[in-house]
Amino acid sequence: MDEATIRMEYHQMARTNYFAVKDVEAFRTFIASFKRHQIRIVERTAGQKSVGGVNKNLPVFALFFTAAGVPDSDPRLDEPIDFLYMLSQHLQPGWVVELQTIGWEGGNYYRAQVGLVNSEGVLRKFEFEEIRKLGMLMGPYYSRCEF
């Protein structure tokens, strides 16, 4: 591969924290519908992950995403989706999912994002750009970390 080809390829890795779901089989079916993304489900118990205030034997799950990244389209219809919002529909009441993603193109461009969603579907996303804004407020000499 030449240098131009390497720069054109965008890669992404992502993972979630541990969370509890309402219906384990429905959750597994939902994740399995994104075959191309090869999402790995890790199951533990709340006691193993030090999740306080809940039954220590409660199963909790984390998701790990391959280089295909977090799904952004419906696998059947090829329409845009909000994966994090769709995941929220499977959460037990009161639970919050944190999704951390980092993507890169060649070695020149990085993008990081953290998304939070609760069981009611309330979504918040944070990106590197917010850190850049803080950097500019902290002092007069700040350069962006790129190229």
Question: Per-residue confidence of the chain (147 residues) as pLDDT tens digits?
Answer: 455 554 467 778 899 999 999 999 999 999 999 888 889 999 998 888 777 678 888 999 999 998 778 888 876 777 888 999 999 999 999 999 999 988 887 767 778 888 899 999 999 888 877 767 777 787 777 665 654
Query: Where exactly are the structural domains of the chain?
Result: 3-138
Q: Bridge partners of 105? A: 10, 109
Give the span between the Cα atoms of 117 and 99, in whole angstroms. 9
Answer yes or no: are the C-beta atoms of 10 and 102 closer than 8 Å. Answer: no
For 9, the 3-state DSSP assignment is coil
Q: pLDDT tens digits for 55-98?
A: 888 999 999 998 778 888 876 777 888 999 999 999 999 999 99
Report residue 59 CA to chain centroid gap: 20
Give the span between the Cα atoms of 64 and 26, in whole angstroms. 18
Answer yes or no: are the C-beta atoms of 134 and 126 closer than 8 Å. Answer: no
The structure's pTM equals 0.80
Tokens representing residue 78 in the block: 């090829």
